[in-house]
């Protein structure tokens, strides 16, 4: 695999509440893997960041160095891309982890998509939260 397109979502039932992440991996337009995990009681924004981190870690584990992440979290995407400042201390720690993980990639893109374009990852995140 040369490149992955990864749809990510985080969800919490309440804010904070029981939370989960959902991730769907595509290679050359074909779904190759789904991942979901309960991550405990936390906020929706922390869950969104954790989904990005899990996706990045998985790509590194399978030795893929070119990824595009698609997320419906405008906040997380814009913070990672440097458009918004990270003011929350909990999110700042996760932001720093993403910035560190980015060093493992030749190509890293994260793009905001509409919620309607992220239904599979959303479903996975909500089923475990």
DSSP assignment, residue 115? G
What are the pLDDT tens digits along the chain (129 aa)? 899 999 999 999 999 999 999 999 999 999 999 999 999 999 999 999 999 999 999 999 999 999 999 999 999 999 999 999 999 999 999 999 999 999 999 999 999 999 999 999 999 999 985
The C-alpha atoms of residue 33 and residue 30 are separated, in whole angstroms, by 9
- CATH topology for the 4-128 domain: Nucleotidyltransferase; domain 5 (3.30.420)
pLDDT of residue 1: 81
Helices 44-61 and 119-128: angle between axes, nearest 10 degrees? 110
For the residues of 62-79, what is the DSSP string, one character each? TT--EEEEEES-HHHHHH
Q: Please, what is the end-to-end C-alpha distance for the chain in angstroms? A: 31
Which residue shows structure tokens 């997320």?
A: 71
pLDDT of residue 47: 98
Domain positions in the chain: 4-128
pLDDT of residue 129: 59
> What are the angstrom distances between the C-alpha of 92 and each of 26, 47, 66, 102, 111?
28, 13, 24, 15, 19
């Amino acid at each position: 695999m040369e490149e992955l397109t990864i749809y990510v979502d985080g969800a919490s039932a309440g804010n904070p509440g029981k939370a989960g992440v959902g991730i769907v991996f595509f290679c050359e337009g074909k779904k190759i893997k789904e991942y979901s995990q309960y991550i405990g009681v936390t906020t929706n924004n922390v869950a969104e960041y954790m989904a990005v981190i899990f996706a990045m870690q998985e790509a590194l584990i399978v030795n893929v160095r070119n990824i595009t992440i698609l997320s419906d979290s405008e906040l997380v995407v814009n913070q990672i891309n440097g458009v918004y400042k990270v003011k929350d201390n909990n999110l700042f720690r996760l932001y720093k982890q993403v910035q560190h993980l980015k060093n493992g990639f030749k190509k890293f893109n994260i793009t905001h998509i509409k919620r309607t374009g992220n239904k599979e990852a959303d479903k996975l995140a909500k089923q475990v939260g």
